[in-house]
């Protein structure tokens, strides 16, 4: 069962927009937050060695970026 997807994005990010569009097309609920909204997001990403956006989770399960999301949705 799918939980709520959570996406870390940034403004003017084509892959972030594609990820949100894909979730909408699949009828999946999601929440998106921009890394520019809170300086803590960037610090946490760097600490976790995550260098790109989007970063996507389904509940507490880490999915990855856009291509990982595509694979995940096609497999489930």
Beta carbons within 8 Å of 70's beta carbon, 6+ residues apart: 22
The secondary structure of 30-46 as a DSSP string is: EEEEETTS-HHHHHHHH
What global pTM score does this model have? 0.88
- The answer to whether residues 37 and 8 touch, using CB atoms and an 8 Å cutoff, is no
pLDDT tens digits, one per residue of 31-72 = 999 999 988 888 888 899 998 999 999 999 999 999 999 999
- The answer to whether residues 62 and 7 touch, using CB atoms and an 8 Å cutoff, is no
Two structure tokens written together for 21: 């569009």
pLDDT tens digits, one per residue of 7-28 = 999 999 999 999 999 999 999 9
pLDDT at 42: 86
Secondary structure (3-state) at 55 = strand
């Amino acid at each position: 069962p799918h939980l709520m997807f959570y996406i870390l994005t940034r403004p003017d990010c084509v892959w972030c927009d594609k990820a949100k569009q894909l979730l909408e097309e699949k009828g999946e609920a999601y929440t998106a937050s921009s890394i520019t909204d809170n300086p803590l997001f960037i610090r946490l990403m760097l600490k976790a060695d995550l260098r790109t956006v989007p970063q996507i989770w389904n509940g507490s399960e880490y999915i990855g970026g856009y291509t990982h999301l595509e694979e995940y949705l096609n497999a489930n």
